[in-house]
Amino acid sequence: MKVLTVVGARPQFIKAAAVSRAFQEQEGIEEVIVHTGQHFDANMSDVFFEELKIPLPHYNLAINSLGHGAMTGRMLEGIEEIILKEKPDWVLVYGDTNSTIAGALAAKKLHVKVAHVEAGLRSFNIKMPEEVNRVLTDRISNVVFCPTNEAVSNLANEGFENLPVHIVKNGDVMQDAALFYVNLAKKPTFKLPTDYVLMTMHRAENTDDLDRLKSIIQSINEINQHTAVVWLIHPRTKKIIERENVAVDFKVVDPVGYLEMIYLLKNCSLVMTDSGGLQKEAFFFEKNCVTLRDETEWVELVENDYNILVGANKEAILSAFHEMSHKKNDFSLDLYGKGTASFIIAKTLLNEC
């Protein structure tokens, strides 16, 4: 069985590391990895393949820094050519990026089976490009791998039980990766405060709306007066901050590798983010989280009080910071499986082939 895996963004590299390892442990699976180039910065891409021991991509399309239409269109064209050459049994896509929808569309139009990892997630905000990508990818997939009961329920509500698609609740492959790499955590080279909040922010809804961006950063500036904040800044966000002359009074550093990220997660006191993946990783490493969004796909974290949604409202951000900084949570609850999600993917694809 040949699986053509399409990745392009940092979270997808981490997920692919876990699933590729499961493929290697199963007889009869050949994997061909396509890197679309969506994340092209060395800190956002190359370092992941090196330190996570992911097999180097067989193809790199080097498509980036374009609008949604141009990026997705060129990816679709490039992936189609590779599918025609490699003739895979499956095209495997992850998450909700332009790389995801391009891989799924290219495969479906060539009548190649599509498997979607991290399926069924919904923010119910169709203005988000990620929501568009995930909804459309689910709809044209042959197998959808759902990380949670909520994801399965979302698909049921959309009538997927009446469609020719195999719905599998397999757990979260990000937890597989976290469990595997936790003992390999690596201290970053930059100096860290003794006590710090770990922050990321990259979603267009925050960075492209100057009012939201300024409100969030002003809130974090104030938080930094109480507890040091370390912001891992996305290259695109960094350009916006510099262009708009937004005053940032806390520590800003470039993106780090996954092993350094694990170290930062293990040693921080709180996570503040608009990243879906980091919301879960905070839970994996037993940290409370404040999410700088109006909604989240990971509703079980909010429902179980591990996470608070604050949007860009300064009062809500400050209130949530003070609440979650002192809240003692029990992280023993099993929300995302027990580290077997990748194995289930490998076995399912073999059985379905």
Would you name the residues annotated as active-site residues?
Answer: 202
CB-based contacts of 283, cutoff 8 Å, min separation 6:
289, 301, 306, 307, 331, 335, 336
CA 61 to chain centre: 20
In the three-class reduction of DSSP (H, G, I as helix; E, B as strand; rest coil), residue 236 is classed as helix
Helix, strand, coil tally for the chain in percent (to 5) = 45, 15, 35
CB-based contacts of 131, cutoff 8 Å, min separation 6:
96, 122, 123, 124, 125
Laid out side by side, the sheet with 166-169 consists of 59-60, 30-35, 2-7, 90-94, 113-117, 143-146, 166-169
Q: Are 118 and 341 in contact (CB under 8 A)?
A: no
DSSP 8-state code for residue 181: H
CB-based contacts of 15, cutoff 8 Å, min separation 6:
94, 95, 117, 118, 173, 174, 177
CA 8 to chain centre: 11
CB-based contacts of 120, cutoff 8 Å, min separation 6:
138, 144, 146, 147, 148, 150, 151, 152, 153, 154, 155, 167
d(CA 151, CA 340): 17
d(CA 116, CA 137): 7
